[in-house]
Amino acid sequence: MTTGYLVLEDGTSFMGTIENGNDNIGEVVFTTSMTGYQEIITDPSYADQIIVFTYPLIGNYGLNQDSEESDVKHLTGVIAYDFHLTKEQKQEETFLHYLNKNKIPHLTGVDTRAIVKYIGRNKAMKGILTNYPPDSNIIKEKLYEMRGYKLNSIDLIQKVSTKKILRFGHEPREENKKLHIVVMDLGCKQSIIRTLCNLESKVTVVPWNTTYEQIESLQPDGILISNGPGDPAQMKDLYNVIKELTFNYPTLGICLGHQLIAAAYGGMTERMGFGHRGSNHPVYNHKTGKVFITSQNHGYVVTKNKEIEEEFDITYSHVNDNSIEGLQHKKLPIQTVQFHPESSPGPLDTLSIFKDYLQMIESERKYVFT
């Protein structure tokens, strides 16, 4: 490992030791999660982002092959104070070895508290992980490039979405017993698919640009609009197909899916200062009065406006900033959540989101056939 730097687009730099530095530009964000580091770095929603872990020791319980959220690592880099060299029994590599095997740039020995405080004061910004000193001509050129660089959200979706239709849980002997859920993959986590399969559903995952007619031909019972990276306001090409799907099928939207459903019905979204990323976010349930501790990963949020209030009831709100965390359509079988109900940061409270969704589909089926 050699001396390396995180250099932000305003020229501010933080020094540590680096491996696999590649000078690629990424949005610098932080997560407050103490666990789930393997799930985080394989989450497609972190595409083209540099993740700063606020918890100082990352890698302290090893790796688990079942914890991957995708087959490809889409993030730009990882920053932590220290990578603990623990590995689980029967495993041959530590988390640090895992990062190196996958050629993921990472910076350690850096004051992550200072980085987080700086982002908190100045809002999330772009940065690079590099071996070059911040005052070098190469970095000066990179800063110029960085300030004019804009992340294209459609490019991000194309990057993380499946390229072909995938099927899970389609066992022939149980075909007629299971609900069929079609997932529009905008960067879907594997744990969402696993959760649906564990709840005795069959799942078909389709690429982000699949048409309504193509999805209709699959004969779904319900639709799930997945999580993913990027700015929902740059994805207007998806609004019409999402509105058509939600008008004709019971639908659940998660994270980016929540934002896009709101936008398709005239809602507005805005970029947050530094987002919600971590597994300790308290969310208030308006129906029960209870609070869930949730896992979240988003930099954009749905804002209240006339269209949202006319079309939807707000079902969940963030306790800390009162931002919208869930919606339910007043007439149609549509529900959305900003948080990740499949992640279960400790208890399984939010698993009920999926159970309620499947029950909503069953109710719609009975209504249609009676």
- Residue 195 sits in a domain whose CATH number is 3.40.50.880
**Looking at the DSSP assignment, which residues form a beta bridge with residue 179?**
201
User: 344 by DSSP, 3-state: which?
Assistant: coil
Regarding pTM above 0.85, the answer is: yes
Which among 265, 313, 249, 323 is positioned nearest to 286, based on CA atoms?
Answer: 313
pLDDT digit string, tens, across residues 189-206: 999 999 999 999 999 999
Tell me the Ramachandran region of residue 58: left when phi exceeds 0, alpha when psi lies from -120 to 50, beta otherwise.
beta
251 and 319 share one domain: yes
CA distance 321 to 300: 13
Q: What is the CA radius of gyration of the chain?
A: 21
pLDDT score recorded for residue 370: 41
- Does residue 209 share a domain with residue 140? no
210 phi and psi angles, rounded to 5 deg: -65, 135
Active site residue 342: yes
The strand pairing partners of 206, in sequence order, are 184
Within this chain, do residues 146 and 169 fall inside the same structural domain, yes or no? no
More confident of the two residues 147 and 309: 309
Q: Are residues 108 and 182 in the same domain?
A: no
**What pLDDT, on a 0 to 100 scale, did the predictor assign at position 86?**
67
Average pLDDT of the segment spanning 116-144: 92
Do 127 and 252 lie in one domain? The reply is no
- Per the structure, the complete domain to which residue 317 belongs is given by 157-369
Last residue of a domain, one of 100, 125, 150: 150
188 is a catalytic site residue? no
pLDDT for res 303: 94
The whole-number pLDDT of residue 8 equals 95
CA distance 183 to 169: 13
User: What is the number of structural domains in the chain?
Assistant: 2
Averaged over 292-320, what is the pLDDT?
94
Does residue 177 sit in the same domain as residue 326?
Answer: yes
Same domain, 189 and 331: yes
Supply the mean pLDDT for the chain: 91
User: Is 229 or 63 the better-scoring residue by pLDDT?
Assistant: 229
> Does residue 11 surpass a pLDDT of 60?
yes
Q: Which of 74, 180, 298, 340 is catalytic?
A: 340
The pair of structure tokens assigned to 2 is: 């050699």
**Are 161 and 39 members of one domain?**
no
- Kindly report, residue by residue over 102-114, the tens digit of the pLDDT: 999 999 999 999 9
Q: CB of 5 within 8 A of CB of 15?
A: yes
312 shares a domain with 260:
yes
Secondary structure of residue 261 in the 3-state scheme = helix
Tell me: pLDDT of 81 over 50. yes
CB 201 within 8 A of CB 180: yes
Considering only residues 365 and 139, tell me which one the structure prediction assigns the higher pLDDT: 139
pLDDT of amino acid 302: 96
Annotated catalytic residue within 255, 258, 298, 325: 255
Q: Which of 32-41, 166-175, 227-236, 254-263 has the lowest mean pLDDT?
A: 166-175
Instruction: Indicate the residue among 95, 126, 150 that finishes a domain.
Output: 150
Catalytic residue at 318?
no
* H-assigned helices in the chain: 37-41, 95-101, 112-122, 137-147, 153-160, 190-198, 212-217, 239-248, 256-264, 306-311, 352-369
Indicate whether 173 and 102 sit together in one domain: no
For the segment 137-155, the average pLDDT, to the nearest whole number, is 86
**Per annotation, catalytic residue among 27, 39, 69, 342:** 342
Predicted confidence (pLDDT) per residue in 277-295, tens digit: 999 999 999 999 999 999 9
Angstrom distance (rounded) from CA 104 to CA 41 = 9
Tokens for 16?
């540590």
Let me know whether 274 and 343 are in one domain.
yes
- Residue 152, classed as helix, strand or coil, is coil
75 — pLDDT class (breaks 50, 70, 90) = very high
DSSP lists the bridge partners of residue 276 as 298
pLDDT band for position 88 (cuts 50, 70, 90):
low
Please give the Cα distance from 67 to 42 (Å, whole number): 9
Whether 169 and 318 map to the same domain: the answer is yes
Q: Which CATH number do you get for residue 106?
A: 3.50.30.20
